[in-house]
Amino acid sequence: MFLAEDKMHRWWWEPMPPEERLALLDVLSDALFASEQWHGIEIDSSLLSYSGLNSTDVLDSYREQVFNDEEPLDVPSIVEKLGGALAGFETVPNAVGLGALIISMILEIVGKSLGKKTMGTAEMLQRVFAEEKGNEVRDLMDEYLKHLQINLGKPQLQLAETRQIELDLSAQLTRLKNSMLVDGHMNSMLLKQWVNGAAFHTQMLIHQARLEEADGSRAVRAAGVYQQQLNVIIDRYKKYLIGITHITILTTRDQSTTYILSFNEGPLSGYSAPWYALQYKSQFTDTQMVEHLFSKQQISWTTSYFTDLAANIPTLVRQHATFQIQN
Q: Is the pLDDT of residue 257 over 80?
A: no
Closest CA relative to residue 24, chosen from 298, 284, 291, 294: 284
Q: Mind listing the pLDDT tens digit for each residue in 172-192? A: 999 999 999 999 999 999 999
For residue 88, name the pLDDT band (cuts at 50, 70, 90). confident
What pLDDT, in 10s, does the model give residues 25-74?
Answer: 888 888 889 887 888 999 999 999 999 999 999 999 998 888 876 566 77
CB 144 within 8 A of CB 197: no
Query: Phi and psi of 245, rounded to 5°?
Result: -115, 125
1 — pLDDT class (breaks 50, 70, 90): very low
> ∠ CA 157-161-165 to the nearest 5 degrees?
175
| The predicted structure's pLDDT at residue 19 | 83
Structure-model confidence comparison of residues 133 and 72, the more confident one:
133
99 closest CA partner among 109, 117, 86, 82: 86
- The Cβ of residue 176 has, within 10 Å, a number of other Cβ atoms equal to 21
Residues 142-170: tens digit of each pLDDT: 999 999 999 999 999 999 999 999 999 99
Contact 24, 273 (CB under 8 A): yes
Query: How far does the chain reach from its first CA to its final CA, in angstroms?
Result: 75
- Share in percent of the chain as helix, strand, coil (round to 5): 65, 5, 30
Residue 268 has pLDDT above 60, yes or no: no
CA pair distance 301, 244, nearest whole angstrom:
22
